[in-house]
Amino acid sequence: MNDIHVLIGGSQGSGIDTSSLILASALSRSGYGVLSNREYYSNIVGRHSYIHMRVSALEIPRSLSYPVDIFAALDAESVFFHFDDISSRGYLIYDTGVSKTRIRMISSMEPESRSRIESKLRTIGAGDSVESLVNVLESKFNITTIGLSYSSILDVISEKYGLAKAEAQRFKNSIVVGAIAGLIGLNYESLSYAIDRRFGKRPKIAAINKALIAGVADEIKENYGEPLKLEKSKLNLEEVLLVSGNDIIGMGKIVGGLRYQSYYPITPATDESVLHETYEALKVDGESIGSIIVFQTEDEIAAVNSAIGAALTGVRASTSTSGPGFSLMVEGLGWAGKNEVPVVITYYQRGGPSTGLPTRGSQSDLLFTLFASHGEFPRVVLSSGDHLEAFYDAIQAFNIAEKYQVPVIHLIDKFLANMTATIPLPEWSKIRIDRGNTILKTDNTVWRRFDKNSIISPRPVLGSGAITWYTGDEHNELGHITEDPINRLEMYEKRWKKLQLIDADIPEEERAIYYGDGDEDFLVVGWGSVKGTILDSLRELEKEGYRGAFLQIKMFQPLPSRLISKILSSFSPERVIDVENNIGGQAARVIAMNTGYTIRKYILKWTGRPIYLMELIDGIKRILSEREDRVVLSYGK
């Protein structure tokens, strides 16, 4: 096989993250492309979570789809949740120890989910136990069910390595790694490499995992062969990164010169700052080149204000947060805008409003970032569509912030943040650093920090020797408070003209990217992590005779209005489709506000789960058939 979809389900805290990372690392080591998404409830231990992974021997995957070829369940709840996600002739790996478990015995399952699943069980003629469901899957759907006694396998490990039974339970997740590895023919050298990467500092743990995984894989091969054996990879990548969205943005910031990162813990932003804490001391070829200060503050108000303070001293400073945290940062954002402070806010969107869906994804905060804070001031809002873009954009955010002396909001969605992907190494020739008119050392004199003779005034930093003033009120060129109406007019306009300057300086083709060759008959508009799913859907639809193009919006402030208007006007209004993870089509609204063009067709999803390939293909077909103007997607557990 050249392409395989895998699902691993279990309770929160059962180790499925570790399982997926070992598999992804081993597969990447073997030369395959991997894309893996993590879905989890907003609690620490106990609730249902799962990993959805796609592996390809032909390409680096850009999207996920259902049904899956392999589903490995660590508990009974997972079997009930995902039995209908398995393809016909697919494989279910489950624990025979939970065969007698009935759905009503699972106290952690939400009543809404239980009711919906019970209805599905009745529809297919299954009883309410795992055993009954497994029998129906085998007899009616040609699914191969592989029942393993997890407890018996762990008893062997316990006896062999002198582990207490409770301690041996920690290795349950490795059973499914071995079973999956056996079905797809994953080689032991790559698995060993992945295990050492994960447990290298704990040799006994590594040895137990290697023995257990190899033993289960051998048993699977002996009983079932290698029915889903992956073909040799045709990807020609000598070196790759296996990274999450959080990690690649953190890396981009470091390469871009980050020296101060503040944060208050919040899902899904925290992982980025955790990476920065790991690399606080920076070295190149063994020589120290400085360090990063990573400051966990008492709240998000302190986080943004401390980052602003750090930026005023001349270091590249940023903070990372999600919706509730950004709500608290809004007053600080306005202060930075009025005082022309180059601070970067990495904004990871999750489901709102309020606490909403704390661990689920969304694209519903776009309008918030554009209009947050009272008054008017320039800010740049840019978004990334995949991991590699996010790396370059993290660097670009600093460049824009310092060159134009504005706050920059780097808008990411939770789907991209929590997806782990195989990506090629960034091209270092594409990386540049632009610090703008930043003055690190000067005479001990009073400066007109906000000189009205230029849109971008020289920026002597605190500690440079220059004497400057900053205030929350309107100010004159020196920074002193004034309410003079003419000064207000001139200072307000000076700041606002930065948007015109940015719009003129940064090519529109970098801010809105068109994927097409000019003879397509319909256009899909999107932004953020929907990029890969849209591109894959257009490729699949082309096989059926549909010819579509994609317009990716990368910068929303300032919006590349002229280019967008030109592209939109070249298509029939009935053939332009907006695809977003929100209920209101927020990007389409922004386009309408800036261009006057009203998009009429929508494919939207706001369940907190990603847009999957198969449902987007279906949605586009429904739109193009002129049956519907608005398709709402809902697939996902």
Q: What is the mean pLDDT of the chain?
A: 96
Phi then psi dihedrals of residue 318, to 5 deg? -150, 165
What does the pLDDT read at residue 330?
98
Phi then psi dihedrals of residue 289, to 5 deg? -120, 15
Taking every pair of Cα atoms in the chain, the longest distance, rounded to a whole number of angstroms, is 85
pLDDT tens digits, residue range 41-55? 887 777 899 999 999
Using the predicted structure, report yes or no on whether residue 596 has a pLDDT greater than 90.
yes
- Cβ atoms of 480 and 469 closer than 8 Å: yes
* Separation of alpha carbons 36 and 50, rounded Å: 10
Average pLDDT over every residue of 541-549:
97
The superfamily in CATH containing domain 242-430 is: Thiamin diphosphate (ThDP)-binding fold, Pyr/PP domains (3.40.50.970)
- Taking domain 510-632, whether its CATH number is 3.40.50.920 is answered by yes
Confidence label for 288 from pLDDT (cuts 50, 70 and 90): confident
DSSP H helices in 379-520: 387-404, 414-418, 485-505, 508-511
What does the pLDDT read at residue 262?
98
CATH number for the domain formed by residue range(s) 3-224: 3.40.920.10
* Separation of alpha carbons 349 and 533, rounded Å: 18
Confidence label for 236 from pLDDT (cuts 50, 70 and 90): confident
What does the pLDDT read at residue 90?
97
Confidence label for 13 from pLDDT (cuts 50, 70 and 90): confident
pLDDT tens digits, residue range 463-480? 999 999 999 999 999 999
CA atoms within 13 A on the CB side of 374: 3
Using the predicted structure, report yes or no on whether residue 448 has a pLDDT greater than 80.
yes
Q: Which of 44-53, 241-250, 310-319, 554-563 has the lowest mean pLDDT?
A: 44-53
- Same topology between domain 3-224 and domain 510-632: no
Using the predicted structure, report yes or no on whether residue 515 has a pLDDT greater than 90.
yes
pLDDT tens digits, residue range 599-622? 999 999 999 999 999 999 999 999
What phi-psi label fits residue 636: left (phi over 0), alpha (psi between -120 and 50 degrees) or beta?
Answer: left
What does the pLDDT read at residue 237?
81
The number of residues making up the chain comes to 637
Annotated domain spans of the chain: 3-224, 242-430, 438-505, 510-632
Using the predicted structure, report yes or no on whether residue 518 has a pLDDT greater than 90.
no
Using the predicted structure, report yes or no on whether residue 281 has a pLDDT greater than 90.
no
Using the predicted structure, report yes or no on whether residue 238 has a pLDDT greater than 90.
no
* 545 CB-near residues (< 8 Å, 6+ apart): none
Strands 419-424 and 240-244: antiparallel
| Of the candidates 98, 215, 93, 94, the residue with the CA atom closest to the CA atom of residue 160 | 215
pLDDT tens digits, residue range 170-213? 999 999 999 999 999 999 999 999 999 999 889 999 999 999 99
